[in-house]
Amino acid sequence: MWRPYEKEEAKIFLAWSEEGLSFTVEVYKAVEETFFPDSARGDGLLLLVDTRGIAGARGLHKYCHHFLILPEDKEGLLGRETTPLHLGDRHPLSPSESLKVTVTKKQKSYSMEIEIPQISLFGYDPHEYKRLKFAAVVYRKGEDPLYFPLGGKEYKLETNPELWTFLEIEA
């Protein structure tokens, strides 16, 4: 069941350039444990990006990307693309080593600086396509996930880009 957040639990900042997208994520809970591939069991972040901002898209398409970012190293990586696309409408998955992730842990919180280069964003062209769609899920071990822009497992945010929010790119 969705509930309004009673306190600030996380913040997500986004910046863009011709070279790609940058995110800063602050989570106001200490890292407990991470898992892969079952990342929702622990701490982590799922970034969802549609590089063309396709209105009314009811399912995943070749411009959709899922990036799993972990605050602790699993299998040698902090970030990887995990986009579940159908065979007929897919793009090559981003090489994991192209994602740059820096994690800063504190006693009661952590932050992640994430750089996703253009090569990892199939269809990303900020001069030609001036809007993106975006959503995120912050996983927290032992607590309910935080969803942006709307919450709850019942919405299936991960597979429904129609529910992702639009972002306008301005120079």
pLDDT digits (tens, 9 = 90+) for 93-112: 888 889 999 999 999 999 99
- Does 2 reside within a domain? no
For position 85, what pLDDT does the model report? Answer: 67
pLDDT exceeds cutoff 80 at 86: no
- Does 4 reside within a domain? no
Instruction: Give the closest residue to 33 by CA, choosing from 76, 85, 73.
Output: 73
- Does 138 reside within a domain? yes
Residue 140 is part of which domain span?
A: 10-168
Number of domains, the chain: 1
| Contact predicate 121/20, CB 8 Å | yes
Instruction: Give the closest residue to 93 by CA, choosing from 129, 68, 130, 56.
Output: 68
Q: Can you give the CATH number for the domain in which 34 is found?
A: 2.60.40.1190
- Does 51 reside within a domain? yes
Supply the pTM of this predicted model.
0.91
